[in-house]
Structures are given as C-alpha cells and as structure tokens.
Amino acid sequence: MTNNEGINQAPATEDATAAQRSRRELLAMAAVGAAGAGVAAIAGGAPAYAAGTGAARGPKTHRLTVLGTTDTHGNVFNWDYFKDAEYDDKPHNDIGLAKISTLVTAMREERGRRNCLMLDAGDTIQGTPLSYYYAKIDPITKGAIHPMAAAMNVIGYDAAALGNHEFNYGMDTLRAFQKQLHFPLLGANALDWNTGAPTFPPFVIKTMRLDGGHEVRVGILGLVTPGVAIWDRANVEGKVKFQGIVEQAKVFVPRLRKAGADVVIVSCHSGATTSSSYGDALPWPENASSLLAEQVPGIDAILVGHAHLEIPERFVQNTTTGQQVLLVEPLKWGMRLAVMDLDLVKEHGRWRVASAHSHLLDANTVPEDKRISDLLTKDHETVRSYVNSVIGTSTRAMSCATSRFEDTAAIDLINYVQADAVKKALAGTADASLPVLSIAAPFNPDAAIPAGNVTVRDVAGLYVYDNTLLGIKLTGAQVKDYLEWSATYFQQVSGTGPFTPDQVTNAKTALAPNGTPDYNYDIMSGLEAPLTYDIDIAKAPGSRIANLAYAGAAVDPAATFVIAINNYRQSGGGNFPGVKTAPVVYNAQAEIRQLIIDWVTATKTIDPAMFSTYDWKLVSNGAPVTIEGASEGGRH
C-alpha cells in the first residue's frame, strides 16, 4: 500500500512543481520595474528594503502582498470598441480586467491568497462604450448589472477608492454601482453637503491571517481628487462636497491607527506629481499623493491613480517620522497590476512594516480569465452590436489624426453640432441674436468618420468623454484671452520647420509639468460666420493669437458672443480664463456625444461642405509652419 502511494504521488508532486515553475516564469516575464524583475522576487525571496532603511538582519519577517489596479475606465476585455478590434498601441499593451484577473490568480497562488489584498484606486465606470451602454442605454439604475461590478466581484477585490469619473453619470448611477459591489467603495474626502460627514465609507480595516496564523489588521483609506467639485459640479452641487486629500488624511489616518490598524494603505485617486489642472480654483491640489506621503505620518504605502502613469516603485520620505512611504501607480485601463510587498515584523506586541518594495505586472503576457469571458461575453457582444449600428452616411472621410496642430473637418463637425444646439435653444430669448461660437478639443487622435456608412461607434470615437453642453457669454476680449490660454498647449519654437508634432505640442507648464494634455487644447469656431485666427508659436505664451476676426472683421473687444462649451471646461477644468464666472444662457444637461449621434441620425448625410472651413493655422513670426503629417492645404 505504501509503495503504491509512493508511485501514485510522485507524478502529482512533479506536476505541482512544474506548475509552480511555470507560474513563476510567467510572473517573472510579466514583471515591470527593477525591484520586481526575476523569479526570486516573484517567489517572495529575500525582502527588498526601502530606500535608506538598510538591510540589516532583524526579527523574522512575514510578507503581506497588496495587489492593485487603477483607472480601468470601463475596460473588461482587451477590446477597442471604437475600432471594433482587439486593443493595440505602439508599445503593444493589452487592457482589461479579464487579463488582470489572470495575473491576480497567479499572484494569489504564488503568495498564498490569505497573504494578499486586492485594491483599486478609482475611475472605473466611465471611458468605453461598454460603460456608457450600462449607464445610459440599459442603465444599471433600472436593474442591469454593471459589467465592471460583475468582473471586480469575480476577481475578489477587497476595497476600491472613488475616482472623479465615478461621478460623471450622477449620484443615482454611482449609488447603483456601489450597491452591486461585494466590497466597500471608499471616499474619505467625499462629504455630505449639509452635515460634512463622509457620504461613502472613509476606510475599512481588514483582518489578515497570514501564513503561520499570524493576525494582522490592515487599514485601507480611500481618497479622491477634490477636482470633482469643479468637473462634475452639476452632478454633485448640493449633494457632495470635497475636502483636500492631505487635510482629510490627517483626520482619518490617526483614527485608523487608534482603531488598531497595524498597517495603513491609502488608495488615492490623485497623481504623484503635485499639480492642478484647475490652478487656484480650489485651495487643494488635484494631484497630491506625494504630498500625502510627505505630510501625513502613519501611512505605509499608497496605491496611486488619476495620472495614467506607470510608477513601478517610488519612495517619499515623511517629514515628521522619516519613514519611507512606498508609492506605486499601475498605468491605466488594466494594462498593469501593481504588486506591493510589505515585510512585517512584530515588536512589542504590534506589527510594523520593516521593509517594502513594489513592481508591476504587464497584462500583455497572459490570456484572459475564462471566468470573466464566460460571464460577460454576452454583454460585450450586445455593446458591439449597438456601437456598430449604422445611423447615417458621410460624403467623405474625416480624421482627427492631425487635429492638434491643424484645422480639421472632424473638429469642425463637433463645433457645428454644439453651436447649432445652443443657437436653436436661444430662439425667442433676449440672446437669440448674439453670434454663437463653439470650442472643442482633439480628444482622440484615432477617431475618424469614414466615407460611406457611419455608425454609432464612429461618432462616439469623436467624443470619448461624457460631457454635457452649456452656453455662456464672453466678450471679444475674453475670447482672445481664452484662445491665448489654449495656445499655451504649444511649445515655443523658432523657424517654420518642418517640425514633428511632438516638437510643437504638449508644452510643459507649471500647471502641467508632464506636458499639457490634448484635452486641454481648445479649438474655437463660429456657427453662422467663421472665427479666424493665427497661433504664432514663435511668440511667448500670452502673446500668440494674431489676426483674430469674426465674419472677416477684427473682433471688437467689447462685442458679446455666446460660447458653446462643455461642462468640464465651464466648471474650471483646464483653468481657462473667464468661463467660471461667465453668465450661463443654456444648460439643458444634454450629453454632447448623444447630440452628435442624434444630429447624424436626423441629418442622414454628413457633408463637410455645410460646416467645415479653414479658420486657424500655426505660424512662426507670421509665416506658416510646416508640421510633418499635415494636410498641406487639404482638409483632414
């Protein structure tokens, strides 16, 4: 009997060893970041020590592994709904929670599930046609299950923080999503408008029983950028207000410690580099994770979100305690899984983090988890059918590929629909006779309207955000100031080129130290007459707009215009001058993307000749600038 057992068990043991080796090789291949490279690190070998802490021998350590995602933005599968194809980009990243789930399973098998926590740092329910469909077409407020909630429940998250985009669809949708989760949705600085108390759970304390039966209490605090108060003012005003990240952490981290938390992790939807796209519109910075680590004692590690950056490992020293606080940000869209290894020692009856390191795992190294695909493929196919439905035709193709550096018909279409909607709404009012202008940003360089049949997918690609439309009044002087601010998007150059697009765009500024994003560059157009101007990128910011004219005449600084503008910008997003205090003449809460879809559906045929004129250009000391890829006199 014993011999038979030995014969039967040997292959099983060999299989288990082979499976472990295969898993470790997979995880090692997926590792991003020097601290995580190699099979030894994946296998939980000798602990790495935080910068400046040394590697002296001490008491026996016990490892707690914290896994994390952020800014998944409605991505379940490795799919680009705008192209109706598998997602791909220049670095060949893969996306989606289905792939993240495979990595999470492998890490739990490697480290031991009881030793692992799974967190998210926000921006979950907005960003793809999948998330839009279950907010607006078959809304979760009427009983549908949100695919992101379903996927996260299968993965087994322990907690998630709110992101600013969680508020895009209003509080009813957010509350419905919250109810569908099998884990807490945290927001310590999202406060009830009247009472000032957190309107979401501020934190949760998880009791972990690590290998060996050791019990460790882990406090998880959730924080969101206070910019929600600006960007989604229409959805939160009178309901939820937002406190500063550092200020609220100073309240709740001591409470967590007092409640018995041995370890404190912050899931923080706020970038690591201190900055604000909204300038001084709020007293608290948009991106404050490094300040949080530096100024609030008692935090061991921070899962960073919001900035869509890849930070495999970073340490920030707390100025009070000298502790090195670990920061990690796993890019966006499910491209990476963060792995934070915290090595704990017990001293005087309490656990503390003796050392820490982190790395990222690349989702493009693994297949999708069949559990997720089996559960949600039907939802995926439903959305594919919706976005591929034909709603009109176009007489010619239009592309956004060059919209950030030259006037294109695709942006003109957005501006025409916006301005037309505002103009019609003003009929019969005191402002009906005012000239209407419109602003739009080059959100998506991959967006294109084909010649021939046009689908929901094509139109949705033009406008990837869930913004609503407003009309405000600005003077001619304010229009020029607005355009000057927008023109800070361009780098200052000498000569007329040729330049590559990257040599002239995405200028680094005090408000955008990593480069001004495309969505903070606005192009302005007229509805019933052209608004024309040059942007002189040889000039210093603030002195770039030349030859500004409306209907062929120089713009009178005292003239009054109505501007069709999105809610993000009107509320202060991008810190554009004049807009927050400008009189509002239209605000029907109409979604801009749906307005464009409705316009195409009603018009049937998109003919650029009805809305597209060549109104603005880049110049250098008055001479036209040549940019590689530009149309050279044609229209994209």
Could you read off the pLDDT of 101-123 as tens digits, one per residue?
Answer: 999 999 999 999 999 999 999 99
Last residue of a domain, one of 383, 405, 430: 383
Residue 51 has pLDDT above 90, yes or no: no
Same domain assignment for residues 369 and 464: no
In a domain, 3, yes or no: no
Give 389-446 as a DSSP string: -EEEEESS-EE-TTTTTS--HHHHHHHHHHHHHHHHHTTTSTTTTS-EEEEE----TT
In a domain, 5, yes or no: no
Assigned token pair, 315: 């340490």
Q: Which residues pair with 357 in a beta bridge?
A: 341
Residue 402 has pLDDT above 80, yes or no: yes
Assigned token pair, 181: 């989760």
Same domain assignment for residues 332 and 431: no
Same domain assignment for residues 292 and 405: no
16-20, 191-195, 263-267, 341-345: least confidently modelled range: 16-20
pLDDT at 44: 54
CATH code at 140?
3.60.21.10
Helices (H), 135-223: 147-155, 171-180
pLDDT level of residue 55 (50, 70, 90 thresholds): very low
Same domain assignment for residues 264 and 196: yes
User: Among 439, 445, 441, 443, which Cα is nearest to 400's?
Assistant: 445
Same domain assignment for residues 137 and 176: yes
Rounded CA gap, 447 and 425, in Å? 28
Same domain assignment for residues 362 and 469: no
Same domain assignment for residues 281 and 421: no
- Computed on alpha carbons and rounded to an integer, the radius of gyration of the chain in Å comes to 26
pLDDT level of residue 552 (50, 70, 90 thresholds): very high
State the residue range of the domain holding 155: 30-383
Rounded CA gap, 288 and 274, in Å? 5
Residue 154 has pLDDT above 60, yes or no: yes
pLDDT at 6: 38
pLDDT at 13: 62
In a domain, 20, yes or no: no
pLDDT mean over 45-52 = 40
In a domain, 25, yes or no: no
Same domain assignment for residues 349 and 397: no
Backbone dihedral angles phi then psi of residue 548, each to the nearest 5 degrees: -75, 120
* Three-class HEC string of 540-607: CCCCCEEEEEECCEECCCCCEEEEEEEHHHHCCCCCCCCCCCCCEEECCCCEHHHHHHHHHHHHCEEC
Assigned token pair, 603: 């018009």
In a domain, 14, yes or no: no
Q: Which residue has the tokens 């068990």?
A: 9
Same domain assignment for residues 509 and 606: yes
pLDDT at 213: 82
Same domain assignment for residues 136 and 225: yes
For residues 372 and 593, the answer to whether their CB atoms sit within 8 Å is no
Same domain assignment for residues 606 and 591: yes
* Three-class HEC string of 2-31: HHHHHHHHHHHHHHHHHHHHHHHHHHHHHE
pTM to 2 decimals?
A: 0.81
Last residue of a domain, one of 321, 351, 383: 383
pLDDT at 248: 98
Residue 366 has pLDDT above 60, yes or no: yes
In a domain, 147, yes or no: yes
Number of domains in the chain: 2
pLDDT at 24: 84
Residue 590: Cβ within 10 Å count: 17
In a domain, 492, yes or no: yes
Same domain assignment for residues 193 and 223: yes
Last residue of a domain, one of 383, 408, 442: 383
Task: Compute the mean pLDDT over every residue in the chain, rounded to the nearest whole number.
Answer: 92
